[in-house]
Amino acid sequence: MKVQNKLPSKVYFIPAKREDGHKAVAKKAEKIFLQAGFLDQIEKNSYVALKIHFGEKGNTGFIKPQWLRDIISHIENKTSHMFLTDTNTLYVSQRSNSVDHLRLAQEHGFTQDAVGIPVVIADGLIGRDGDEIQIDLPRVKAAKIASAILDSDLLLCLSHFTGHMMSGFGAAIKNLGMGCASRAGKLEQHSDVHPWVDAKKCTGCEVCVEYCPEQAITVEDEKAAIEDEKCIGCGECLVVCTVNAVKFSWDSDALRCQEKMSEYAYSVFKHFKGKISFINFLLKITKDCDCIGQDESTIVEDIGILGSSDPIALDKASVDLVNSRSGKDILRVGYDVDWSMQLRHGVKIGLGSMDYELIELD
């Protein structure tokens, strides 16, 4: 295990709201970006990956392409080999293959004309393109990471902060660990998650059957049942159930999933050896992540944009701002998940520090 740095990690913060307008938000994002020292690491002809989430079809919370234009302009002055990227999903959706995924990214505004750079789906046509990073950590021995991520020279991790059903919240750690994994890597991180159905609450509506990517759910006598042998732990059934009949063993399942996610994040962090930086957008903060194909209401008002070279410190600062603004631990209200597990495990394995200095910019 690594020894934590005794000095607090620097986290830069600038207040921002969607009502500021795209140009103003872009300028604020640029200020955060320039503090990170990321530009100094870029050499001529470096391949620079901008890891982002393009948003599921019907979702409106994702980071807007207009907010990135000034950041992209700075990087373009250093290298022409830059691209926006994400990986295909484990569950069945328009983001589970690269053809439909690219079309959706264009529908959401990530076009060549709008952002000036191409979009590359990092793990190939159907999520099989990847390689392993040997890390030998308690839960993950070799992380399965998407090829285009591993082939890049630098990585800028752009994350939209939201709540999440298994990790309490999703931000830099989730975007790095789950978001950079190939489909096999995503499956490994979810493999210990076993949802079950409370028959007393189930109405037999079969919505979960429709959304299950592995046909692991059957309905008999107007009650749903999940087959453990087929279940991949993607959690779609939990999200789509309108009567709260699908349950998880939160303490054990969330712990394993969050610790694996942190170890996957560590593998990518280690791979780039200092040539990586992180920006969190705390705008339109919703109960669920951008994988949910619908427009959700916010759980707290817009806060701003944060950046750091330390993903643990960045996520901890983001959580503290969200909970401080809401006046309570709003992230536990949705699914009663202990979100701190991903942070605490990340500290243990050397991913970063929860001790941070928040530096507010004008």
pLDDT exceeds cutoff 60 at 250: no
Query: How many CB atoms are located within 10 Å of the residue 37 CB?
Result: 11
Chain-centroid distance of CA 349 in Å reads 19
- As assigned by CATH, the class of the 196-247 domain is alpha beta
Whether the per-residue pLDDT at 91 is higher than 80: the answer is no
Residues 130-139 have pLDDT tens digits of: 999 999 999 9
Q: What is the per-residue pLDDT across 293-348, written as a single tens digit (0 to 9) for each? A: 899 999 999 999 999 999 999 999 999 999 999 999 999 988 889 999 999 999 99
CATH class of the 9-190+254-360 domain in this structure: alpha beta
* Spans of all domains in the chain: 9-190+254-360, 196-247
Q: Are 291 and 56 in contact (CB under 8 A)?
A: yes
- Label the pairing between strands 82-86 and 119-121: parallel
DSSP letter string over 331-361? Answer: HHHHH---THHHHHHHHHHTS--S-EEEEE-
Give the model's confidence band at 79: pLDDT under 50 very low, under 70 low, under 90 confident, else very high: very high
Name residue 273's amino acid.
Answer: K
Beta carbons within 8 Å of 111's beta carbon, 6+ residues apart = 65
**What stretch of H or E contains 163?**
strand 162-164
Q: Which residues are 146's β-sheet partners?
A: 130
Q: How many residues does the chain have?
A: 362
Cβ neighbours, 10 Å, residue 277: 26
Question: Tokens at residue 60, please?
Answer: 């409106």
Fold equal for 9-190+254-360 and 196-247: no
Confidence check: pLDDT of 43 > 80: yes
State pLDDT tens for residues 3-33. 445 799 999 999 999 999 999 999 999 999 9
Cβ partners under 8 Å of residue 235, min gap 6: 165, 166, 190, 193, 195, 248
Beta carbons within 8 Å of 6's beta carbon, 6+ residues apart: none
